[in-house]
């Protein structure tokens, strides 16, 4: 069994995927627009250029994204308790990704050395996705082996 994350961005999926490719080195694996769907009769007018399905990879993790549902805006019942945990090898890489993701976003916890990590911080990117960026301490790396 495999569980994958799907991000829905209410019409901004292409911008979101391109942002992650540019800022943290994600790689686009697949993109299908609504106009490319096998049965366009089931598509609502105005969505032709929106993303029906995209898959991108961050490191070894594949993430799916879609504009499905973009015709209805988020409501008070929209789930908001989600974040990515991005573990990187060096403080330099953490600082670079943290700075890139914070452009147009909001720093929630500055990227600092902590008792549990060489660097740890939380940033909400311009799309409202929360990223926990972490460089594990060398003792944690040894314990994982």
DSSP code at position 10: T
Nearest to 66 by CA among 25, 7, 16: 7
In which domain, by residue range, is 25 found? 5-66
Asked, for residue 74, whether it belongs to a domain, the answer is no
- Percent residues over pLDDT 70 in the chain: 81
Which residue, of 17, 40, 66, is where some domain finishes? Answer: 66
Asked, for residue 78, whether it belongs to a domain, the answer is no
How far apart, in whole angstroms, are the C-alpha atoms of residue 102 and residue 67?
Answer: 23
- The reported pTM is 0.73
Q: Stretch 59-86: mean pLDDT, rounded?
A: 73
- Percent residues over pLDDT 90 in the chain: 51
pLDDT at 77 > cutoff 80: no
How far apart, in whole angstroms, are the C-alpha atoms of residue 131 and residue 65?
Answer: 16
pLDDT tens-digit profile of 79-126?
Answer: 445 678 899 999 999 999 999 999 999 999 999 998 888 999 999 999
Asked, for residue 49, whether it belongs to a domain, the answer is yes
Asked, for residue 137, whether it belongs to a domain, the answer is yes
Angle at 45 (CA atoms; ends 40, 47), nearest 5 degrees:
80
Q: How many domains does the chain have?
A: 2
Are residues 87 and 139 located together in one domain of the fold?
Answer: yes
CATH at residue 101: 3.30.720.110
Confidence of residue 25 (pLDDT cuts 50, 70, 90): very high
Asked, for residue 114, whether it belongs to a domain, the answer is yes
Which residue, of 66, 95, 114, is where some domain finishes? Answer: 66
Question: How confident is the model at residue 140, as a pLDDT?
Answer: 47
How far apart, in whole angstroms, are the C-alpha atoms of residue 72 and residue 50?
Answer: 14
Are residues 62 and 94 located together in one domain of the fold?
Answer: no
Are residues 87 and 62 located together in one domain of the fold?
Answer: no
């Amino acid at each position: 069994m495999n569980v994958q994350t799907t991000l829905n961005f209410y019409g901004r999926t292409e911008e979101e995927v391109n942002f992650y490719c540019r800022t943290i080195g994600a790689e686009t694996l697949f993109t299908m627009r609504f106009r490319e769907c096998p049965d366009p009769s089931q598509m609502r007018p105005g969505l032709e250029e929106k993303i029906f399905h995209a898959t991108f990879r961050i490191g070894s993790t594949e993430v799916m994204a879609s504009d499905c549902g973009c015709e209805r805006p988020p409501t008070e019942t929209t789930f908001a308790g989600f974040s990515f945990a991005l573990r990187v090898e060096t403080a330099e890489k953490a600082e670079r990704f943290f700075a890139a993701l914070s452009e147009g976003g909001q720093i929630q916890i500055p990227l600092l050395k902590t008792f549990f990590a060489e660097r740890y911080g939380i940033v909400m990117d311009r799309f409202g996705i929360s990223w926990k960026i972490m460089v594990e301490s060398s003792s944690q790396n040894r314990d994982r082996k």
